[in-house]
A and B are shown apart, each in its own frame.
Chain A
Amino acid sequence: MSAFQIPKFRLPAFVATIGSRLPQWPHSLHMAAALNLVLKLKLLPEDTLTALEDKLFRVHVRDTGGIAHYTYRDGLFRPVFQPAREPDLAFAANLSAYLQLLTRQEDPDTLFFNRELEITGDTELGLIVKNMLDAIEFSQLRPRLPGLPLAGH
């Protein structure tokens, strides 16, 4: 594990108040770009990617007010700027929980049990995504992303 530990924190309420009034499309764009990078490095298992086809995902960072929508179609993650329907799968958590997940400092089940991570929608799809993220070998990603505090197993 990385020696650097991300503490549990919650940003002040005004951040979300402001953040939710800002344009949300950059979040979707960045999220899709990051996922496509992981995709390009062939770190996502192909057999489970097919389960994501045309599904609409929403990631809500509660304490920044940021919301990203994206989908997976024809081999690429694509941002969705104006979703016309409810997402198939939605995550909601504070920024610190997402960072703890991303760095593998905390287990998603732990955060879910402790109600720090909310997952709604298609539960099986949620499990597929969770297990897909768990299966990424960050040790292969880290050399390409210097500076990110990713745990290297």
Chain B
Amino acid sequence: MSSLPDLVCPAGSLPALKAAVDNGADTVYLGFKNDTNARNFAGLNFDAKTMAEGIRYAHGKGREVLMAINTFPQAGRVDHWRHAVDNAVDLGVDAIILADVGLLDYARNKHPQQRLHLSVQGSATSYEAINFCQREFDIRRAVLPRVLTLAQVENVIRNTTVEIEVFGFGSLCVMNEGRCWLSSYACGESPNTVGACSPAKYVKWDKQPGAMETRLNGILIDRFADDEPAGYPTLCKGRFDVQGETYYALEEPTSLNVLEILPEIIRIGVRAIKIEGRQRSPAYVTQVTRTLRAALDSLRDGAGRYQVKPGWQAELAKVSEGSQATLGAYNRPWR
């Protein structure tokens, strides 16, 4: 049924891409092996050979491929990002996900036929911002930052003809997407500049008797007892001493999970649901994709008898960061 939103799944490697396609993704998104995308982690992403094979595999099964070029061109190296855009067009991807307005302008003028999406890193939270990008760059879809309530998402959808994509599952951070410099504060590098939050070369996991300490560029950001779940080594998920109390002062390690509100997301007209996690393994992609696929398929005949199956929640809870899930901003009472 055409009213179901597309399921957009992460692919950090060829096996992950195939896992997404084989388990029910309508669309996969990926990136080059460099700093033009916000998951520029050592050993991750696609080289020319695996990229071509991945695109061929997805297209062969009737699925779409989106290329994330969602970091910001750095001074003196703008051509590097422009080449990535040209490359993506040559590869025949179905859309390019861009964050930087300069790059959007370049892509629109150089490749007038190429479908463009506005990345979550573009930080557009209002329909005015989205409509601006539609008018100037003819974007067809915008990925909303994870800061809006469901009512706010609905308001955006009512006031734009741009397709709206929202996040459905994955690790949460402080969600100041596209504007976060916390990682740079600790180590001088951040997603916007090098394509990675808390790059691994700055991370140290120190095993101590009865505990494990996490340091980012020497700064102690957390200490886990042996029976405590761990989280990603980012500043926003650190535990800090604030006025004599040590706690998650910015954000707890947790994952977004929209299973409970899936019928509402469909009702308000969301066009695509995105799963976070290009840095995760094929096993994660398999588990999350098939779970979201099953949930979406159960809504094909309407939301009347929709029920979140315990098995779905168990599968997602297992792969969640911090082993806990939240509806995030979607059901936040305050504005």
Residues of A participating in the B interface, judged by any CB pair closer than 8 Å? 1, 45, 47-48, 51, 104-110, 112-115, 118-120, 123-124, 126-132, 134-138, 151, 153
Chain B, Cβ-Cβ closest to A129:
B43
A131 to B44 alpha-carbon distance, docked (Å): 6
Chain A, Cβ-Cβ closest to B215:
A123
A107 to B321 alpha-carbon distance, docked (Å): 12
Given contacts A124-B201, A131-B12, whether A48 and B43 have CB atoms under 8 Å apart is yes
Asked if residues A123 and B203 are in contact (CB atoms below 8 Å), the reply is yes
Q: Return the contact of B47 from the options A47, A113, A123, A130 (Cβ within 8 A).
A: A47
The digit string for B2-43, where 1 denotes a CB below 8 A from any CB of A, is 000000000011111011001000000000010000000111
A123 to B213 alpha-carbon distance, docked (Å): 13
- CB-CB under 8 A from A106, the residues of chain B are 283
Asked if residues B318 and A110 are in contact (CB atoms below 8 Å), the reply is yes
Q: Return the contact of B282 from the options A47, A114, A119, A153 (Cβ within 8 A).
A: A153
Q: Is the interface of B mostly helix, strand, loop or mixed?
A: mixed
Q: Can you report 9 residue pairs joining A to B where beta carbons are below 8 Å apart?
A: A45-B43, A104-B15, A107-B287, A109-B319, A109-B321, A115-B227, A115-B230, A130-B281, A134-B13
- CB-CB under 8 A from B323, the residues of chain A are 113-114
Total residue contacts A-B, CB cutoff 8 A: 108
- CB-CB under 8 A from A51, the residues of chain B are 42-43
Whether B286 is near chain A, meaning CB under 8 Å from some CB there, is yes
Asked if residues B230 and A110 are in contact (CB atoms below 8 Å), the reply is no
A110 to B19 alpha-carbon distance, docked (Å): 17
A114 to B320 alpha-carbon distance, docked (Å): 10
Besides A131-B42, A153-B15, A153-B282, 9 other A-B contacts (C-beta < 8 A): A109-B281, A110-B283, A113-B229, A115-B224, A126-B200, A131-B12, A131-B44, A151-B282, A153-B19
